[in-house]
Amino acid sequence: MRSQIPILLLTLSLATPVFASGVDIAWDDCLGEPGAASLKQFACDTNAGRESMWVSFESSQTVNSTGHLEVAIQFGTRSGVALPVWWDFEDFASCRRGALSVDPDPPYETATCARVFSSATPPTFFVDRIDYQFPSADVGTMVVIAAVGTQLVANQRYLACRFLLTHAKTGVCAGCSEPVSIIVTGVRYGNMTFTDPITQNVVFWQSLPTATRASSWAALKRMYH
């Protein structure tokens, strides 16, 4: 589905950059925990099971605003070939509709990542936008949003949400083995937008990139997109 609400993209930036503010993503746990990983490999031999991607963010200044928490990710083939149907979650006609979602009942905090809400009721995330082979054939995007209400403490890492990627229909939807990069393109909290990585805002599916060095995040984006 394609909504008219603007999507958080890699080109978004803060009007006044905040030093050390940013976003991270990791497989299996919040970045900073011993179990967090940047690479996930799957043999594509079962329809059962799932993987988890943990998105976290941090501000170098206290933020008092409340409102909505928005998380945007982009997934794309590293070879530049068209994104296979294993990554098509877009609509009712999609091969794997619903296979990528936000966990409705995750751990809401860890030792290194604080919870992003203060009420007794956890936030409910809704899909604001999900696209397949858009804006180009090699990528897809997903934006989720939830109502939250808590003050952000400066220099505290927060767990924004946990995405679940299931193995459903792996046997009938082609392309599971294609190497893919998944980037957090932005986290918006109230009137603040975070896009730069704290440590890593990209994780990898099936294999790591062949390149081992990059002089800047701009160079990383060129390699992994």
In a domain, 6, yes or no: no
Residue pLDDT, tens place only, 43-69:
999 999 999 999 999 998 888 766 789
**What is the per-residue pLDDT for 204?**
98
Over range 151-166, report the average pLDDT: 93
**What is the per-residue pLDDT for 3?**
39
In a domain, 102, yes or no: yes
**What is the per-residue pLDDT for 211?**
60
pLDDT > 90 fraction of the chain, expressed in percent and rounded: 68
**What is the per-residue pLDDT for 53?**
98
Which residue range(s) make up the domain with 128?
22-224
**What is the per-residue pLDDT for 65?**
67
Over range 161-167, report the average pLDDT: 97
In a domain, 9, yes or no: no
Which CATH number fits the domain that encloses residue 95?
Answer: 2.60.40
**What is the per-residue pLDDT for 45?**
97
Report the 3 state secondary structure along the chain: CCCCCCCCCCCCCCCCCCCCCEEEEEECCCECECCCECEECCCCCCCCCEEEEEEEEECCCCECCCEEEEEEEEEEECCCCCCCHHHCCCCCCCCCCCCEEECCCCCCCCCCCECCCCCCCCCCCEEEEEEECCCCCCEEEEEEEEEECCCECCCCCEEEEEEEEECCCCCCCCCCCCCEEEEEEEEEECCEEECCECCCCEEEECCCCCCCCCCCHHHHHHHHC
In a domain, 57, yes or no: yes
In a domain, 44, yes or no: yes
At 162, is the pLDDT very low, low, confident or very high (cuts 50, 70, 90)?
very high
In a domain, 196, yes or no: yes
Residue 187 has pLDDT above 70, yes or no: yes
> Chain-wide mean pLDDT for the chain?
85
**What is the per-residue pLDDT for 12?**
36
Look up the pTM and report it: 0.84
Residue pLDDT, tens place only, 116-127:
887 778 889 999
In a domain, 7, yes or no: no
Number of domains in the chain: 1
In a domain, 166, yes or no: yes
Residue pLDDT, tens place only, 71-90:
999 999 999 999 999 999 99
